């Protein structure tokens, strides 16, 4: 970066070279997780470990922040000690870790605050683990149920005419298992060949997926990510929303109109819709009116944020109109175009069309309750004007 330029988190490379180390980092929930690497290793393994460590802390503490880490430093240190051995990942499954490192409670926090050590007194070796490292033995529930959340994020670049330059969806199947004993499950889909580039929880039998396109697994107890996948969406007809921008650039400023309308949501409304419009650094002022929601202009960051809220089918399309003034700037900067960002959420809707068909249970005598929810939301959704 040149001297004097603003540096954002997106400008930081995921792998930074230094004379002694390779610094691999990920950014989640306002925190940067960094791992120095001294030898030749697969960087994907390091990235996965950092994400897994963040997931484990979320599992233990409910939320992750600088304050939470400081207040639970003893537990965080113990987790790192168990999850990594001599620089290599060791125990990364939540069920196994909870048998070794107890979750913090009021008593352990009081002992830590008083300066006593808990690293020896509270540590215990696992005694209820099965021969599967991700599942405890002897799990019992009065009501046996399992829930699947299919969450898809759409990444798209769309031109001003509404045509998709690139479009793909990244999906995950988040699972919450509350099943007794040692259940062996088989989950099948209506249209499994829609998905590509799949990755699975270690419990999934990969050969079964390769041969029959079904998920066969003994689930961990509690929350876990069963599967992640990618779906190509070559047709712009798959786009759930259309943004129509219009800019009229003048010598000292510009007028604009932006319309947002539903396109392909199977009759479902768009929720939590937010449109952002970054402007040139030379923008001096902005005035606007909108028929839905409310807008805010950041005079420092030069970003217009329009909080639309919910867009219902067969209702008037949200429109924002306004103008902004420009200070001294070159014509090249003014006419370089605009990149509009869009956030949204569609409940009970799968953009790819992936649907759960049948869940079968073996090795246990009960019939579990199966719950399935779907959700589509915007990932990196950008409209070029």
Environment class of 343 (CB within 10 Å of its CB; exposed 0-12, middle 13-18, buried 19+) = middle
Are residues 49 and 24 in contact, defined by beta-carbon separation less than 8 angstroms? Answer: no
Residues 59 and 269: their CA atoms lie apart, in Å, by: 32
Residues 276 and 266: their CA atoms lie apart, in Å, by: 25
Q: How many CA atoms within 13 Å lie on the side-chain side of 106?
A: 0
Are residues 374 and 351 in contact, defined by beta-carbon separation less than 8 angstroms? Answer: no
Distances (CA, A) of 299 to 249, 280, 302, 332: 20, 11, 5, 22
pTM for the whole structure = 0.77
Encode pLDDT of 84-99 as tens digits: 988 888 888 887 888 8
Residues 150 and 338: their CA atoms lie apart, in Å, by: 33
Q: Is the confidence at residue 260, as pLDDT, over 90?
A: yes
Are residues 375 and 149 in contact, defined by beta-carbon separation less than 8 angstroms? Answer: yes
Confidence of residue 329 (pLDDT cuts 50, 70, 90): low
What pLDDT does residue 330 have?
46
Confidence of residue 108 (pLDDT cuts 50, 70, 90): low
What pLDDT does residue 142 have?
93
What pLDDT does residue 7 have?
58
On average, the pLDDT of the chain sits at 86
Output phi, psi for 191, to 5 deg: -140, 65
State percent of the chain over pLDDT 70: 87
Q: Is the confidence at residue 159, as pLDDT, over 90?
A: no
C-alpha gyration radius of the chain:
25
Task: DSSP for 27-39, please give it.
Answer: EETTEEEEEEE-S
Average pLDDT over residues 24-45: 89
Residues 32 and 42: their CA atoms lie apart, in Å, by: 20
């Amino acid at each position: 970066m040149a001297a004097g330029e603003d540096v954002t988190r997106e400008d930081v490379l995921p792998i930074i070279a230094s004379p002694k180390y390779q610094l691999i980092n990920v950014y989640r929930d306002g925190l940067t997780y960094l791992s120095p690497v001294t030898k030749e290793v697969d960087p994907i393994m390091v990235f996965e470990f950092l994400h897994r460590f963040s997931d484990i802390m979320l599992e233990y503490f409910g939320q992750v922040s600088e304050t939470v880490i400081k207040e639970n430093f003893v537990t965080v240190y113990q987790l790192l000690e168990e999850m990594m051995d001599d620089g290599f990942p060791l125990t990364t499954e939540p069920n196994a870790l909870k048998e070794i490192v107890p979750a913090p409670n009021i008593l352990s926090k009081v002992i830590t605050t008083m300066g006593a050590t808990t690293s020896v007194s509270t540590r215990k070796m696992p005694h209820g683990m099965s021969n599967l490292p991700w599942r405890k033995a002897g799990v019992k529930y009065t009501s046996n149920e399992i829930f699947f959340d299919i969450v898809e994020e759409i990444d798209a670049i769309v031109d001003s005419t509404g045509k998709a330059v690139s479009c793909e969806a990244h999906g995950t199947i988040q699972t919450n298992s509350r099943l007794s004993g040692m259940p062996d499950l088989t989950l099948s889909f209506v249209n499994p060949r829609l998905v590509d580039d799949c990755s699975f929880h270690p419990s999934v039998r990969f050969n079964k997926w390769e041969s029959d396109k079904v998920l066969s697994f003994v689930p961990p107890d509690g929350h876990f990510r069963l599967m992640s996948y990618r779906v190509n969406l070559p047709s712009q007809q798959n786009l759930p929303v259309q943004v129509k921008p219009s800019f009229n650039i003048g010598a000292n400023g510009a007028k604009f109109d932006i319309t947002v309308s539903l396109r392909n949501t199977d009759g479902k409304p768009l929720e939590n819709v937010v449109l952002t419009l970054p402007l040139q650094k030379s923008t001096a002022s902005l005035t606007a009116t909108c028929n839905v929601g409310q807008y805010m202009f950041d005079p420092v960051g030069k970003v217009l944020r329009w909080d639309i809220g919910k867009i219902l089918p067969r209702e008037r399309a949200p429109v924002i109109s306004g103008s902004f003034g420009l200070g001294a700037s070159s014509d090249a900067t003014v006419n370089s175009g605009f990149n509009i960002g869009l956030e949204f959420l569609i409940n009970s809707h799968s953009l790819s069309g992936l649907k759960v068909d049948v869940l079968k249970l073996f090795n246990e005598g009960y019939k579990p309750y199966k719950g399935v929810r779907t959700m589509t939301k915007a990932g990196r959704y950008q409209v070029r004007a």
